[in-house]
């Protein structure tokens, strides 16, 4: 139960952070479009709980605010980076899609769908050659699953026996395109098995499944030193980007909220206390970031 509570706290914080950032965007404080991670919090927070940077390194997609936070990056710096401010992780040069906090084990997010996946193989190679027991974990979506870079890396990780955990977050939509269409209705877990990757299915709506699966897979990787593949079901609770209002969104099934499912496992106390504390921390972080000036040319 303690683990479930901790997961709830982390997931609530990420959710609240995303809401604060979305509010900031609605007030015109974000330079470009935002790709929120709402709906993927359980999977991401559960797996990152098993990791410890900088020995372990995580790479993520364009939708990676939550991963950076889950690995322990300073929320004010993450928020400031997203807002393009001078005390952001990279002084506002990178922004929402290019978060880098390798000090904390969040190596990089990426503006190219699937672009982070080969890079994670490099972090895995460093872990392997450094022999310090670290692993690399790469998160990518069902949209990226059909990119050559991803498929090449799945093979390379097997061929070179790299300690790389592939986490395919399947939320059913790559931008506006159904995952079933993009992959010809092929089960993506079966595809990974075709690469001889040990595979695991993770129900990203079930907190205990996420926690147990994360613990088991990371433990297996630390002992085998080789790659693994998880297909996790997640929800995409926002549009492709925050504020998107396209017709296709009305065609996809209404997403169930994994965080609400997790909340229902907890008694009213400490649930509301945890949620309130997370909301407060997120509000403070984003408010602090808003006060930071922009880096001038």
Binding residues for another protein, rule: CB under 8 A, are 57, 59, 88-91, 93-94, 98, 100, 102, 107-108, 110-112, 115, 117-130, 136, 148-149, 152-153, 155-156, 159-160
Q: How far is the CB of 159 from another protein (least distance, A)?
A: 5
Distance from C-alpha of 173 to C-alpha of 186, rounded to nearest angstrom = 15
**Secondary structure letter of residue 146 according to DSSP:** G
Helices (H), 96-187: 116-130, 148-159, 179-182
Q: Which of 36, 17, 4 lies closest to 235, judged by CA?
A: 36
Q: CB of 93: closest distance to another protein in angstroms?
A: 6
What does the alpha-carbon distance between residue 288 and residue 78 come to, in Å, rounded to a whole number?
A: 11
User: What is the smallest separation between the CB atom of 253 and another protein, expressed in angstroms?
Assistant: 33
Quick one: 115 or 258, whose CB is closer to another protein? 115
Shorter beta-carbon distance to another protein: residue 44 or 56: 56
Report the side by side order of strands in the sheet with 164-170: 106-108, 57-59, 136-141, 164-170, 228-233, 199-203
- CB of 86 vs another protein, minimal distance in Å: 10
| Residue from 49, 195, 21, 212 nearest 117 by CA | 195
Judged by CB, which is closer to another protein: 124, or 168? 124
| Residue closer to another protein, measured from CB, 94 or 239 | 94
Residue among 22 and 124 whose Cβ is closer to another protein: 124
CA–CA gap between residue 190 and residue 178 (Å, rounded): 18
Q: How far is the CB of 20 from another protein (least distance, A)?
A: 23
């Amino acid at each position: 139960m303690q683990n479930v509570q901790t997961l709830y706290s982390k997931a609530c914080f990420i959710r609240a952070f995303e809401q604060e950032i979305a509010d900031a965007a609605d007030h015109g404080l974000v330079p470009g479009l935002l790709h929120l991670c709402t709906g993927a919090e359980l999977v991401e927070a559960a797996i990152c709980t098993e990791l410890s940077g900088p020995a372990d390194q995580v790479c993520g997609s364009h939708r990676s605010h939550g991963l950076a936070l889950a690995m322990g990056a300073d929320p004010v710096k993450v928020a400031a980076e997203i807002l393009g401010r001078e005390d952001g992780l990279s002084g506002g040069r990178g922004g929402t899609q290019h978060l880098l906090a390798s000090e904390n084990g969040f190596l990089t997010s990426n503006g190219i769908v699937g672009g982070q996946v080969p890079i994670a193989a490099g972090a895995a190679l460093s872990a392997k050659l450094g022999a310090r027991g670290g692993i690399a974990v790469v998160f990518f979506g069902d949209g990226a699953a059909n990119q050559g870079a991803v498929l090449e890396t799945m093979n390379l990780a097997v061929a070179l026996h790299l300690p790389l955990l592939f986490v395919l977050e399947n939320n059913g939509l790559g931008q506006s395109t159904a995952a079933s269409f993009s992959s010809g209705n092929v089960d993506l877990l079966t595809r990974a098995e075709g690469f001889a990757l040990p595979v695991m299915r993770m129900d990203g709506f079930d907190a205990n499944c996420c926690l147990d699966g994360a613990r088991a897979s990371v433990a297996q990787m630390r002992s085998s030193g080789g790659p693994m593949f998880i297909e996790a079901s997640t929800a995409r609770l926002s549009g492709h980007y925050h504020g998107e209002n396209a017709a296709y969104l009305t065609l996809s099934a209404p997403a169930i909220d994994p965080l609400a499912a997790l909340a229902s496992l907890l008694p009213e106390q400490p649930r509301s206390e945890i949620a309130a504390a997370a909301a407060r921390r997120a509000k403070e972080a984003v408010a602090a970031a808003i006060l930071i000036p922009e880096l001038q040319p």
